[in-house]
C-alpha cells in the first residue's frame, strides 16, 4: 500500500506543478458560479428552494464537465510514461501494474474531488446566501457530490484504458475527445433518434432503458434526477427515465469505475515498454 | 548458485532474430560487461532479464525466480539507457518515491544523492538537469536497498571522467558485497579494467564469453612492441630486429603471443643500443573487432 501511496503522492505533485489542479478547480468553479447566477431566474415559478434548483443545473453541467476534466487528466497517464521513457524503469520496481494504476487513480480522484467540492461549494454558498430555505436542498447536493466522483472515477479509469491502448499521448488525447463526444453528446442524440423512429415499439420499452442506464453519464443524470422531482422537468429524456428504477442507475454508476479500472488493467498489461 | 542464468535464450522481433541461443551465468560478486554494436541485442537481453519483454525460448532464471517475478524485482536494480524522469519532480522527490516503492526509508534519499554528487541539486526540478545529472539520478535509484543483481544499460554515458571513475568504484564496492553486475558499454577502455568477464554479442549471437586475458589468448592477435633506440642507434636496431621505423628513434615490431618472449630476448640482446621497450597487448577494441567479425550463419 505504501508503494501505491508513493505513486499517488508523486502523481498529485506532478499534476499540481503542471497546473492541472488549478485548471480543474478553476473550470469547475467558473461554470458552477455561472450556473448559480443563471439558475436564479426560475426559482419563483417552480417553487423549489434555491439549492435544489442549483443542484438541478449542476447535474446537467456535471454530465459534460466532470467526464471532460477526468479524461483530460487521465489520457496521458500511461502514454505519457511510455513517451517519456519512464515506464520501463517503473515496471522493474516490485509493484504490480494494477498498483501503478491505483496510485494514479487515487491522485486523480483527489484532484477531481477538490475541483468538484470547490465548484459545487461556491454554487451552494451562493444559493444559501440568497435563499434561507436552501438547506432543504442539502441531501441532493451531497448526492450530486459523491455521484460526480463516481462519474469522474469512471472516466478517469476509461481514460487510462485509452492511454494504454493508444500508447502515444497525441493519439490518446484524440481518442479521449472522441470518446467524450460519443458517450456524452452523441449517445443521447442517437438514442433519442432511435426512440423517435421506433415510435413506442419494442426498442423503446425493452432495449432503450438498458442502453440509457448502461452509459455512466446517463445513469448519473437519471439517478440525480429521479431523486429530485423539480429537475425532472428540465431533462429532455426525463419521461423515459421514469421507467428506470433509480437503483439500476445507482448500480451503473457504482459499477462503471470498477469496469473502467478493469479495462485499464487489461489494456495496460499489454503495454510493452 | 549463480544470480543470473541464461540458457539457450532466443528472442525474435518478427523476422529479425534479436537473440539466438545465448547462454551464460553471472555468479555473485561478478562484474560482466556486454559489448556489441547498436542492435546487437544488448538492451533486448537486459529487458528480458528484467521481465520487461517476454522471450521466445530458452530459460532465464533471476535469483532463483522467473524474470519480472516480484521476488526477482525486489532484488534487481535497473538503469535504463537514456534514463528519464518526470521533469516536474525534484531529484530528491524522485528518489524518495523510488525508496517508497522499494519499501525503504525515505530518509536515505539525501545520502543516495550525495553518493552520486547531486546533493546541491537535490531540490531542483529534474527538468533543469543536464544529461549527466539525470544519469546520476538513475545511478542513485539503482543503489537503493541492497540489490543482488544490477542491470546497467550504458551506465556511464553522459558522465565526465571523474564521475565515471567514482561510479566504477561504487560498483566495485557492491560487487565486493556479493552483488552481480551486468552492464553494457561503448567505452571499451573503462570496461577493460573494471569487469571480470566480457560477453560479446554480434547480431544476437554470443561470440565471446571470457575474461579479457582468456579472450586475448583465444583471439591470438598480434602483440605490438615499441623499441626506443639510443640516439643514432635506430639504424642498427632496425637492422637486427626488422620491423618498421617510427619517428626516427623508434622501431615498431609485431609478433604473435607465443613469439613474445623470444622477441624480447632479441631486444634485450641489443643491450645499450636500446633505451626502452613497451609491450602493447591487443586492446579490447582489437579483440572486439576480431570477435564481432566472426562469420555469422
| Contact yes or no for B88 and A18 at CB 8 A | yes
| Segment B109-135, tens digit of pLDDT | 999 999 999 999 999 999 999 999 999
**Stronger pLDDT, B166 or B247, i.e. the higher one:** B166
Tell me which residues of chain A have a pLDDT lower than 70. Answer: 39-47, 227-243
Radius of gyration, CA atoms only, chain A = 20
CA of A97 vs chain B CAs: smallest distance (Å): 11
How many CB atoms sit inside 10 A of residue B198's CB? 23
Same fold, B4-217 and B222-281: no
Cβ–Cβ under 8 Å, residues A240 and A212:
yes
CA of A177 vs chain B CAs: smallest distance (Å): 25
Q: Looking at the complex, does the CB of residue B89 fall below 8 Å from at least one CB of chain A?
A: yes
Per-residue model confidence (pLDDT) at position B297: 47
Cβ–Cβ under 8 Å, residues A211 and A138:
no
CA of B216 vs chain A CAs: smallest distance (Å): 36
Per-residue model confidence (pLDDT) at position A266: 97
Chain B hits for A96, CB-CB cut-off 8 Å, are 70
Per-residue model confidence (pLDDT) at position A39: 61
Chain B hits for A9, CB-CB cut-off 8 Å, are 97
Containing structural domain, residue A35: 2-269
Per-residue model confidence (pLDDT) at position B140: 95
- Which span out of A122-131, B80-89, B192-201 was modeled with the highest average pLDDT? B80-89
| Contact yes or no for B82 and A13 at CB 8 A | no
How confident is residue B296, by pLDDT bands cut at 50, 70 and 90? low
| Contact yes or no for A6 and B83 at CB 8 A | no
User: Of A142-156, A194-208, B83-97, B208-222, which range is least confident?
Assistant: A194-208
| Contact yes or no for B88 and A94 at CB 8 A | no
Per-residue model confidence (pLDDT) at position A103: 97
Chain B hits for A102, CB-CB cut-off 8 Å, are none
Per-residue model confidence (pLDDT) at position A233: 46
Please check the confidence at residue B294 and state whether its pLDDT lies above 80.
Answer: no
Nearest CA in chain B to A85: B84
Q: Spell out the alpha helix ranges (H) of chain A.
A: 2-17, 20-38, 43-46, 50-74, 79-84, 87-91, 97-130, 138-166, 169-180, 187-198, 202, 208-214, 216-227, 229-232, 238-241, 246-269
Between CA B2 and CA B11, with CA B7 as vertex, the angle to 5 degrees is 130
Cβ–Cβ under 8 Å, residues B147 and B72:
no
How confident is residue B267, by pLDDT bands cut at 50, 70 and 90? confident
CATH of B4-217, one of 3.40.50.12280, 3.40.50.10490, 3.40.50.300, 3.40.50.1820: 3.40.50.300
Q: Looking at the complex, does the CB of residue B47 fall below 8 Å from at least one CB of chain A?
A: yes
ipTM above 0.90, yes or no: no
Question: Would you state the cell numbers that stand for residue A142, as one nine-digit string?
Answer: 451531497
Q: Does the B222-281 domain belong in CATH 3.90.1140.10?
A: no
Per-residue model confidence (pLDDT) at position B163: 86
Q: Where are the domains of chain B?
A: 4-217, 222-281
Q: Side-chain half-sphere of A250: how many Cα atoms within 13 Å?
A: 9
A-facing residues of B in 189-228 (CB < 8 A) are none
Nearest CA in chain A to B49: A92
Average pLDDT over residues B20-46: 92
Cβ–Cβ under 8 Å, residues A222 and A212:
yes
Find where cell 469512471 sits: A154
Average confidence score pLDDT of chain B: 90
Nearest CA in chain A to B152: A89
Q: Total structural domains in chain A?
A: 1
Average pLDDT over residues B266-283: 87
Q: Looking at the complex, does the CB of residue A86 fall below 8 Å from at least one CB of chain B?
A: yes
Amino acid at each position: 500500500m505504501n508503494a501505491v501511496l508513493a505513486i499517488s503522492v508523486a502523481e498529485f505533485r506532478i499534476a499540481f506543478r503542471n497546473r492541472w489542479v488549478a485548471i480543474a478547480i478553476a473550470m469547475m468553479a467558473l461554470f458552477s458560479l455561472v450556473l448559480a447566477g443563471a439558475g436564479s431566474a426560475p426559482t419563483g415559478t417552480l417553487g423549489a428552494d434555491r439549492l435544489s434548483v442549483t443542484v438541478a443545473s449542476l447535474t446537467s453541467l456535471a454530465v459534460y464537465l466532470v467526464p471532460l476534466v477526468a479524461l483530460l487528466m487521465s489520457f496521458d497517464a500511461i502514454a505519457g510514461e511510455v513517451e517519456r521513457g519512464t515506464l520501463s524503469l517503473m515496471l522493474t520496481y516490485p509493484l504490480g501494474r494494477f498498483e501503478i494504476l491505483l496510485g494514479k487513480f487515487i491522485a486523480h480522484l483527489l484532484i477531481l474531488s477538490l475541483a468538484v467540492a470547490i465548484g459545487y461549494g461556491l454554487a451552494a454558498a451562493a444559493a444559501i446566501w440568497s435563499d434561507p430555505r436552501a438547506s432543504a436542498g442539502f441531501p441532493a447536493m451531497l448526492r450530486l457530490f459523491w455521484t460526480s466522483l463516481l462519474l469522474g472515477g469512471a472516466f478517469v479509469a476509461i481514460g487510462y484504458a485509452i492511454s494504454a491502448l493508444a500508447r502515444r499521448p497525441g493519439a490518446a488525447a484524440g481518442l479521449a475527445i472522441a470518446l467524450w463526444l460519443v458517450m456524452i453528446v452523441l449517445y443521447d442524440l442517437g438514442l433519442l433518434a432511435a426512440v423517435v423512429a421506433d415510435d413506442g415499439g419494442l426498442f423503446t420499452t425493452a432495449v432503450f432503458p438498458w442502453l440509457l442506464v448502461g452509459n455512466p453519464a446517463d445513469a448519473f443524470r437519471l439517478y440525480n434526477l429521479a431523486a429530485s422531482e423539480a429537475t425532472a422537468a428540465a431533462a429532455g429524456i426525463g419521461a423515459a427515465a421514469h421507467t428506470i428504477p433509480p437503483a439500476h442507475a445507482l448500480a451503473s454508476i457504482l459499477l462503471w469505475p470498477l469496469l473502467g479500472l478493469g479495462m485499464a488493467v487489461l489494456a495496460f498489461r499489454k503495454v510493452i515498454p | 548458485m549463480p544470480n543470473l542464468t541464461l540458457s539457450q535464450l532466443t528472442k525474435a522481433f518478427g523476422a529479425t532474430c534479436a537473440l539466438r541461443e545465448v547462454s551464460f551465468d553471472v555468479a555473485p560478486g561478478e562484474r560482466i560487461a556486454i559489448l556489441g554494436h547498436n542492435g546487437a541485442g544488448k538492451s533486448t537481453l537486459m529487458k528480458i532479464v528484467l521481465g520487461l519483454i517476454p522471450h521466445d525460448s530458452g530459460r532465464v532464471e533471476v535469483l532463483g525466480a522467473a524474470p519480472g517475478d516480484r521476488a526477482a524485482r525486489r532484488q534487481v536494480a535497473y538503469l535504463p539507457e537514456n534514463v528519464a524522469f518526470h521533469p516536474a519532480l525534484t531529484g530528491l522527490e524522485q528518489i524518495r518515491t523510488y525508496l517508497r516503492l522499494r519499501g525503504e526509508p525515505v530518509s536515505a534519499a539525501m545520502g543516495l544523492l550525495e553518493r552520486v554528487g547531486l546533493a546541491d541539486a537535490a531540490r531542483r526540478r529534474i527538468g533543469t538537469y543536464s544529461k549527466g545529472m539525470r544519469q546520476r539520478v538513475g545511478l542513485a535509484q539503482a543503489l537503493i536497498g541492497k540489490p543482488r543483481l544490477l542491470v546497467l544499460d550504458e551506465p556511464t554515458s553522459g558522465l565526465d571522467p571523474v564521475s565515471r571513475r567514482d561510479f566504477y568504484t561504487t560498483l566495485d564496492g557492491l560487487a565486493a558485497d556479493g552483488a552481480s553486475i551486468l552492464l553494457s558499454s561503448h567505452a571499451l577502455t573503462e570496461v577493460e579494467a573494471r569487469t571480470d568477464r566480457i560477453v560479446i554479442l554480434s547480431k544476437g549471437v554470443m561470440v565471446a564469453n571470457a575474461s579479457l586475458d582468456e579472450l586475448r589468448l583465444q583471439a591470438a592477435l598480434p602483440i605490438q612492441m615499441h623499441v626506443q633506440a639510443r640516439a643514432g642507434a635506430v639504424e642498427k636496431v632496425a637492422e637486427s630486429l626488422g620491423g618498421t621505423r617510427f619517428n626516427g628513434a623508434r622501431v615498431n615490431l609485431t609478433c604473435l603471443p607465443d613469439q613474445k618472449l623470444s622477441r624480447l630476448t632479441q631486444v634485450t640482446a641489443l643491450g645499450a643500443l636500446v633505451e626502452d621497450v613497451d609491450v602493447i597487448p591487443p586492446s579490447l577494441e582489437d579483440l572486439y573487432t576480431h570477435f564481432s567479425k566472426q562469420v555469422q550463419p
